[in-house]
Amino acid sequence: MILRFVVVLLLLPCTLSLRLTLTRESTSKNRLLINKLNLRDIELEEIPCIEHKVLDFDSEVLKSDYDWSILTSPFASKLASTLPLPPSKIATVGGATSKSLKTLVDFEPSKSLGKVLASELPINRGDSILYPTSAKAGSDIEVGLTERGCHVTRLNIYDTTSTSFTPTQTSSAQASNIVAFASPSGVRGWFDNVGCIGTAVCIGSTSKKECLRLGWKEENVYWAEKPGVEGWAREIERVVGILRE
């Protein structure tokens, strides 16, 4: 009788319980992803991995004229909206960045990557470009646009630092099966607290490269081929299916 009971249990469909941890710094940002996910029987956790620090900068650069201003993150957009930016056309990277602005955006690249923006931005040789950004942002944009003959003024208006997990957050992180990363800074914040725990699902290739650099095994790192929340959500769903096989 007991043997038959065990066999029946083995034949029943089983849904593996998984924990997905979201690492963005605000619930509203995580909500953008949650609303796109179509998952069942998933335990969701939110553990912010980074915090922002506003930096001092030379405000004299804001008195010059620019043809374009480039914004590549929602926080950069939010912070830039408090500054007396000179009038110019606006280019952004990512739908969330565009939505955070209270003005019309003149250009978005076909793919949410800085290097793609640098190659696709409709500029004239000699254009002046203002690039308010994070101190930790890569150099793809200014290098790419400089190579196309533009004068780029990079303005580091904020920095990102790793948060320190509470004991409860650390325990939760250590039990995570899947970790969703939206930026290289988020990857570093997680790593600084718990190392290479969890299967990483990244919003794009830049975060993927940071995971690999810090020591995640390649088979434990996934990323959206088309950067953005929609592609990220589909990749998370795909990884959940893989882990449940």
Whether 14-49+163-243 shares its CATH topology with 52-160 is answered yes
Residues 152 and 126: beta-carbon distance below 8 Å: no
Identify the CA nearest to 190 among candidates 220, 210, 209, 204.
210
The secondary structure element, H or E, covering residue 50 is strand 50-54
Q: Are 20 and 178 in contact (CB under 8 A)?
A: yes
Question: Quick one: fold of 52-160?
Answer: Rossmann fold (3.40.50)
What is the β-pairing status of strands 50-54 and 151-162? antiparallel
Distance CA 222, CA 26 (A): 23
Q: Provide the whole-model pTM.
A: 0.74
As a whole number of angstroms, the distance between CA 240 and CA 232 comes to 12
Q: Average pLDDT for consecutive 10-residue bins of the chain (245 residues)?
A: 32 65 86 88 93 91 94 89 89 80 85 93 96 92 97 95 96 97 95 98 94 98 90 95 91
For 27, the token pair is 């619930």
How far apart are alpha carbons 12 and 35 in whole angstroms? 31
pLDDT at 102: 65
What's 14-49+163-243's CATH class? alpha beta
pLDDT of residue 14: 47
Residue holding tokens 């589909």?
234
- Give the DSSP H or E segment for 238: helix 229-243
pLDDT value of residue 10: 35
pLDDT for position 225:
87
H/E element, 132: strand 128-134
What is the C-alpha to C-alpha distance for residues 207 and 80, in angstroms, rounded to an integer?
24
Residue ranges of the domains in the chain? 14-49+163-243, 52-160
The answer for 180, left when phi > 0, alpha when psi is -120 to 50, beta otherwise, is beta
Quote the pLDDT of residue 234. 96
User: Using CA atoms, how far apart are residues 49 and 186, in angstroms rounded to an integer?
Assistant: 5
Edge-to-edge strand list for the sheet holding 42-46? 42-46, 18-22, 178-181, 199-202, 221-223
Instruction: Quote the pLDDT of residue 3.
Output: 32
**CB of 157 within 8 A of CB of 132?**
yes
CA dihedral 81, 87, 88, 89 (to 10 degrees): 60
